[in-house]
Chains A and B, each alone.
Chain A
């Protein structure tokens, strides 16, 4: 008797539950594949990665829990400050340079130029080109007897060992990064400039502003959200620099003498060259912390920089 009563209750319970399930079936079915991928390969890895960062693990033996030692190691590893310094240099050189050049190009393009699509294509082709191929092309151009050194010799200058000299290697790779990614910003800025209303500029002209004044006080504030966006994207991208460093440094060693090793490169090297999974994971969390802090600072500054955000 008691049993059939509880079965009855169960039936009522399921009838209640079933209805919302039917109602929301399609919604959950539609988000299911994406949510599965995102949870399995974006969110769970955060936890797994954090776990690995507390271990000493070379993949061959089983992981050994060592607490915070990998994070402590960041402060005693003599290579760590070098890779952080190289990464900051990469960022501080590539982001502003890219912004200034691409803004100038976009402004020049935004004046009823003939051949607009030719120019845009020329600037954009390196963006869609594989970074490995970009590296190969520039290693060849910058090599001892490559075109650039032959040109320097032809005008009476000495050869420069662009990629093997500790003084020039990182700068050379960073400039190739600017060359590769310039076109992305050009297209973004051009789109923003085309949205600046012509009559606003005309009004400023009538008020007696010269071209520079119009640019400084009308155009620049109106495209400041795009400038902010490209700056944030540039910082995030450059702090993770890997492909060019890996492929342009000799034998993928991040050299000469660590001169071109970035954080991203050092993470790969620790994980897949030295089999130090725990330390590599700790490094990647240090990088994530850095990215978070910088992004928050940038968003704070957004209010000051970007027009209409106060």
Chain B
């Protein structure tokens, strides 16, 4: 409470236009530290070996070595890995949106025996981390014959406690009048869900979609242990192998990195609002 003994002169409360300068300097320095590595990745990916170690650093490659990218596509088959990644990511995202919104709807608005128990159980699974389930799930997939299949990578990710919780919280706020009206019109719960609830939940579904898409696209450990043959790999796994194989070919490593990160970054710029929303939603857990 010592601050109280030192009352500020009223004039100091009005901020001068210069008072924000230190903040701008700090924020800009931070932003540069974040962005420069990405620009260096992009720049390196377009250089030939002779340009890699120039000092002072040469940001604009001359000549531009487009060949790095064609090498990544032809020799290292990144087109196939991109397709694999897209397939797994799309399947998990669509499946999770459907299953978790269905479960969220039941938990939010239906009465059934065992509801509270199952909901608490669902929340409790949020505490079970992927490191704990890694080995047993690998063994389970092995006994199901699903190791080295995309289905095996997809299956365990199709539903999770947090997504169900998120959808439930949203559906709790949905007006009951609409549901009653739909019932009077002869809608069964499934028709109500598909025709009224889902079309009116686009923002929350988009938020869950970008969250899931980004997580699955970048996921590493699970596909790493599951996908044992090269042709099945995802971009993240393939990039890890590429880095291990082409140890001194920095330009090839960076071209592979650009191809891995670009889809998500483009998605971020297109759907920024939902990305920001998704982080705030994650804060709901607290």
Name the segment of A1-9, A77-85, A164-172, A204-212 touching the other chain.
Answer: A204-212
Given known A-B contacts A37-B155, A125-B34, A191 and B283 have beta carbons under 8 A apart = yes
Could you tell me the distance in whole angstroms from the C-beta of A10 to the nearest C-beta in chain B?
23
Closest residue on chain B to residue A115 by CB atoms: B27
Question: Contact partner of A140 among B3, B6, B44, CB < 8 A?
Answer: B44
CB distance B239 to A45 under 8 Å? no
Interface bin, chain A = 35 or more
Q: Is B175 interfacial (CB-CB < 8 Å)?
A: no
Is B27 a contact of A48 with CB atoms below 8 Å?
A: no
Minimum CB distance partner of A114 in chain B: B24
From B7, B40, B261, B285, A229 is in contact (CB under 8 Å) with B285
Residue on A with the closest CB to B158? A37
Interface size on B, residues (CB 8 A): 101
Report the tally of A-B residue pairs with Cβ distances under 8 A.
Answer: 298
- Cα distance, A31 to B41, chains bound together (Å): 45
Given A137-B37, A285-B132, the answer on whether A130 and B218 have CB atoms closer than 8 Å is yes
User: What sequence of 0s and 1s flags, for each residue 102-130 of chain B, a beta carbon within 8 Å of any chain A beta carbon?
Assistant: 11011100111101001001100101111
Mark out the residues of chain B between 88 and 110 whose CB falls within 8 Å of any chain A CB in the assembled complex.
98-100, 102-103, 105-107, 110
Judge whether A242 is part of the interface by a CB distance below 8 angstroms.
Answer: yes
- In the bound complex, residues from chain A placing their C-beta under 8 Å from that of B63 are none
Which residues on B sit within 8 Å (CB–CB) of A136?
41, 239, 243, 253-254, 256-257
Residues of A contacting B286 in the complex (Cβ-Cβ under 8 angstroms): 225-226, 228-229, 232
- Which residues of A, 265-293, contact B by the 8 Å Cβ criterion? 267-268, 271-272, 277, 280-281, 284-285, 287-288, 291-292
Q: By the criterion CB–CB under 8 Å, are B110 and A26 in contact?
A: yes
Listed by A's residue number, 29 A-B pairs whose Cβ atoms lie within 8 Å are A27-B111, A27-B115, A30-B106, A33-B159, A37-B99, A45-B133, A45-B136, A48-B140, A109-B27, A111-B20, A122-B30, A123-B34, A124-B276, A124-B279, A130-B260, A132-B237, A133-B257, A133-B261, A137-B40, A140-B40, A154-B56, A179-B33, A208-B4, A210-B8, A268-B134, A268-B221, A268-B225, A284-B135, A291-B127
Residues of B within 8 A of A131 (CB): 218, 220, 236
Name the A residues within 8 Å of B140 (CB-CB): 40-41, 44-45, 48
B124-168, CB < 8 A from A: 125, 127-140, 142, 155-156, 158-161, 164
Q: Contact at A281–B106, with CB atoms within 8 Å?
A: no
Chain A hits for B23, CB < 8 A: 108, 111, 113
Interface string of A148-190 (1 = CB under 8 A from B): 0010001000000000000000000000000100111001100
Q: How far is the CB of B40 from chain A (nearest CB, A)?
A: 6
- State the A residues within 8 Å of B (CB): 20, 24, 26-31, 33-35, 37-38, 40-46, 48-49, 52, 59, 101, 104-105, 108-109, 111, 113, 117-126, 128-133, 135-141, 143, 145, 147, 150, 154, 179, 182-184, 187-188, 191-192, 205, 207-210, 212-213, 216-217, 225-226, 228-229, 232-233, 236, 240, 242-243, 246-247, 251-252, 264, 267-268, 271-272, 277, 280-281, 284-285, 287-288, 291-292, 295
**Complexed CA–CA distance, A258 and B237 (Å):** 23
Among candidates B7, B27, B105, B122, residue contacting A105 with C-beta atoms closer than 8 Å: B27
